[in-house]
Amino acid sequence: MNQATEKLKPYAKKAKKQAKEIKKVISETVSAVRSDIKATRERDPAARSDAEVALLYSGVHALAAYRVAHRLHQNGHFFAARAISQAARFVTGIEIHPGAKIGKGLVIDHGMGVVIGETAEIGDNCTIYQGVTLGGTGKDLGKRHPTLGNNVLVGAGAKVLGPFTIGDNTKIAANAVVLTEIPEHCTAVGIPAKVVKKQGVRVENDLDQIHIPDPVAQEIRRLEEKLASLEEELRQIKETKKK
């Protein structure tokens, strides 16, 4: 009996160590999910209670699944990690690669169509709206996806493509396409995105999101001017012939 007990001791020790690690992972995951729920309550005026956010918000569900999948991915369980992320994608419409690095307090509002790539990194207290892609261009190796600093907001439908950094406290406008690095404390809009505000001060450039000229109207106006010019020349020719 003593000999059998001695043989089982290494296994018992290993099982105890694994149980301790699992308990730590669960504790850290629960803490992160609580932070996500708190952030959603603070930033979403439609959120009425923690229970509502925890049970009904797809962004919170996707993040909870990601945090479990990310742990598995870190420990080399790549297939299981991807299985969880794909199941979460099927349920929530949000695809987060388990290899991505995401800080605390991320809010994915509505979330349908959000894609976060494998080497993407997201700081603390960021906000991402539906249809956002943190993706690559297909030309880079290794680090292929963007890095978001802390307190970054990415508007609905925006595409951030490439291995560059979006600085802290920066806002990316809806439907913007960001292909280059954006400094901190900036607002970027357009396709491709340009900085229109820095440190709260408007940046002078030729980008105007409202007063955009109508190319069809411009072409019609040019043709009208050309026609008027030709009619004037024809009138002068006729008068010359009469004389």
Under 8 Å between Cβ of 92 and 40: no
Amino acid 37: pLDDT: 87
**All structural domains of the chain with their residue ranges:** 20-202, 213-243
- Residue-averaged pLDDT of the chain: 83
DSSP-assigned letter for residue 214: -
Nearest Cα residue to 100 out of 126, 79, 80, 74: 74
Better pLDDT: 22 or 1: 22
In the chain, helix, strand, coil percent, each to 5?
45, 15, 40
Domain 20-202 has CATH 2.160.10.10: yes
Written as six digits, the tokens of 196 are: 């229109």
The span from the CA of 147 to the CA of 162, in Å, is 9
pLDDT tens digits, 189-226: 888 888 887 766 666 554 444 454 566 777 788 888 88
Q: How far is CA 241 from CA 56, 232, 234, 235, in A?
A: 84, 15, 11, 10
Tokens of 92: 């929530």
Residues 98-151 pLDDT 10s: 999 998 889 998 889 999 999 999 998 999 999 999 998 877 778 899 999 999
pLDDT exceeds 50 at position 58:
yes
Q: How confident is the model at residue 111, as a pLDDT?
A: 82
User: Which pLDDT belongs to residue 209?
Assistant: 44
Residue 14's H or E segment, with its range, is helix 2-43
Give the Cβ contact number of residue 71 at 10 Å.
19
Check residues 22 and 177 and name the one with the higher pLDDT: 177
Q: The whole model's pTM is what? A: 0.70
Q: Which residue has the higher pLDDT, 153 or 142?
A: 153
What is the spatial distance between Cα 58 and Cα 88, in angstroms, rounded to a whole number? 9
> Higher model confidence: residue 139 or residue 45?
45
For residue 85, name the pLDDT band (cuts at 50, 70, 90): very high
Q: Note the pLDDT of residue 207.
A: 44
Mean per-residue pLDDT for 159-188? Answer: 90
Average the pLDDT over 222-239 and give the result: 87
- Average pLDDT (221-234) is 88
